[in-house]
A and B are shown apart, each in its own frame.
Chain A
């Protein structure tokens, strides 16, 4: 049952990811990207990470993609004609294939896959996924968390400076 659900979700995710880059109309691409994000959220739920799934939908599907569609609306992008840069496309394709092989090799050789960590299904059930993430973020991973927040702050200040003519 779970395997069927996984393959179904993965199929939809991959097909819509292909459509993101194949569609000529930017609205279609954006909608397909939303569907990919929702499939990823379903995969997170199957990995027993409900918090991640909710945040995935809230941030990516609910906020970032809405802004992308907003930009499409404002720029009034029509369909994009066929690009003639076939050499660049070939190089990109070769690189992507190499990356796929590399990831596959790492997944097969590494000792990460198949081994359970400290966080087990029982722990998530008894303690709660949100609580676990919160605790990890504010104790073990406090420094990366703060660095990320400083980066975001810099980005916000930059956006304000770019958009305002006289600060």
Chain B
């Protein structure tokens, strides 16, 4: 006889406690990954260019992110006299907040079960499971543009303005391709909840029963084209190389954050890495089966996120930057038609086989 498994919704105190723990853990872990992503990026790129990267601060330079944070924290905070001060102050916050909010709907593990007072409870390892999870994430990605746009506009600086204009055009065009590539996913899963999408990926591959049972139906196998489109357009959306035109050092000093200093600059920097983590987590959830895999549930998820981030860093070390017209050509004339065709083909396939 199996003991009764309860969700926490009928015990408000325990529910609140579990919720708080989940929120704090998700937030702190994301912040830690943000800090150490900078260290990892410098180390990995250093190795790829036969350098050492940071070595002096702490063992193997492990204290470097903390030292950088302290340095930026104690620097003088300058607001240019001609700047639009309200937008100037709010811009770094608007780039960081959507990235962190998106983390809240991502499932980072299967149900965690524990006994309390003799009753077995089951807690989903996810801050909240919205039934419009994917749309929520896309909405937050859309709001993330404001940080860069306002930063570029409010600084009252030509370089910042050009950086801001470039990033607006880039993000608006690539959001379409990213959204359309995700549509093919929820045509297959028939749900918009991220938890539902992960559990839809636990079935045998392509619905074939004779394949080995550990071979799960991750959507990277059923939707390879959508995965490619999603990956490229998310690179463009988070302004990573080869699409980092908004902050191209050689042309624009440092783009939209030229005028920023001290903690505001650090917030922009953190925003970039937080966006990277969010996009990696979304990619792992939608295409790589979320927490599914050989290790314990949340370890699989973290492993996949780190793999994504490693590839992002790897690309930065190897690819040259695109020219602006090439970027627009790629977005509108190649990726968008491909994504539309993918949706069409998926629609026909779903009609024929289901």
Interface residues of A (CB under 8 A from B): 25, 27-28, 31, 34, 50-51, 53-55, 57-58, 61-63, 66-67, 69-70, 72-74, 128-130
Q: Counting CB contacts under 8 A, is B149 at the interface?
A: yes
**C-alpha spacing A25/B132, complex, angstroms:** 36
B301: chain A residues at CB < 8 Å are none
The yes or no answer to B84 lying at the interface (CB within 8 A) is yes
Task: Considering the complex, give the chain B residue whose CB is closest to the CB of A125.
Answer: B131
Structural contact, B131 and A128, CB atoms closer than 8 A: yes
B225 within 8 A of A: no
Q: How far is the CB of B198 from chain A (nearest CB, A)?
A: 18
CB distance from B6 to the nearest CB of A (A): 20
Q: Which of B141, B142, B168 contacts A69 (CB 8 A)?
A: B168
What chain B residues lie within 8 Å of A62 (beta carbons)?
138-139, 141-143, 145, 175
* Chain A interface, DSSP helix/strand/loop, else mixed: helix
Known contacts: A63-B142, A66-B142. The answer to whether A72 contacts B153 by CB under 8 A is yes
Q: Which residues of A contact B130 (CB under 8 A)?
A: 50
Q: What residues on A are CB-neighbors of B135 within 8 Å?
A: 51, 54-55, 58
Please determine whether B172 and A58 come into contact, CB atoms closer than 8 angstroms. Answer: no
Partner of B142, one of A53, A57, A72: A57
Contact A58 B138 (CB under 8 A): yes
Complex: A50 Cα to B135 Cα, angstroms: 10
Q: Which of A50, A53, A66 meets B145, CB within 8 Å?
A: A66
- Interface residue SS majority, chain B: helix
Beta-carbon contacts of B161-203 to A below 8 Å, as 1s and 0s? 1001100110110010000000000000000100000000000
* Partner of A74 from B139, B165, B192 at Cβ < 8 Å: B165
Binary flags per residue of B127-147, CB closer than 8 Å to A gives 1, else 0: 000111001101101110110
Query: A112–B280 Cα gap in the complex (Å)?
Result: 47
Instruction: Knowing A63-B172, A130-B131 are in contact, say whether A69-B139 is a contact too (CB < 8 A).
Output: no
B19-50 vs A, CB cutoff 8 Å, 1 = contact: the mask equals: 00000000000000000000000000000000
Q: Which residues of B contact A25 (CB under 8 A)?
A: 84
Take A63-B172, A69-B168, A73-B153 as given contacts and tell me if A54 and B84 are in contact as well, using a CB distance cutoff of 8 Å.
no
Contact of A66 among B132, B161, B172 (CB under 8 A): B172
The 9 closest A-B pairs by CB, nearest first: A62-B142, A54-B135, A57-B139, A58-B139, A50-B132, A54-B132, A70-B168, A54-B139, A66-B145
The answer, yes or no, to whether B289 is at the interface (CB within 8 Å) is no
Assembly CA distance A72 to B253 (angstroms):
23
* CB nearest neighbor in B for A54: B135
For the complex, what is the distance from the CA of A28 to the CA of B84, rounded to whole Å? 10
B328 partner residues in chain A, CB cutoff 8 A: none
Contacts of B248 in A (CB 8 A): none
Q: Check B172 against A67 for contact (C-beta < 8 Å).
A: yes
Contacts A27-B154, A50-B130 given; does A57 touch B143 at CB 8 Å? yes
* B78 to A: closest C-beta gap in Å: 20
From known contacts A54-B139, A58-B142, A61-B142, infer whether A73 and B149 are also in contact, taking CB-CB under 8 Å. Answer: yes
Q: Are A73 and B172 in contact (CB under 8 A)?
A: no
Whether A66 pairs with B149 at a CB distance below 8 angstroms is yes
Are the C-beta atoms of A61 and B154 separated by less than 8 Å?
A: no
Q: How far is the CA of A146 from the CA of B26 in the complex (A)?
A: 44
What are 19 A-B pairs at a CB distance below 8 A? Answer: A31-B150, A50-B130, A50-B132, A51-B132, A54-B139, A58-B142, A62-B141, A62-B142, A66-B146, A66-B149, A66-B171, A67-B172, A69-B150, A69-B168, A70-B165, A70-B169, A73-B161, A130-B131, A130-B132
- Whether a CB of chain A sits under 8 angstroms from the CB of B86 is yes
* Chain B residue at minimum C-beta to C-beta distance from A60: B142
Given A57-B143, A63-B172, A72-B153: A27 in contact with B84 (beta carbons within 8 A): yes
Most buried by A among B90, B143, B164, B172: B143
CB-CB under 8 A from A55, the residues of chain B are 135
Q: B141, B149, B150, B172 — which one has the most chain A CB atoms within 10 A of its CB? A: B149
A73 contacts across to B, CB distance below 8 A: 149, 152-153, 161, 164-165, 168
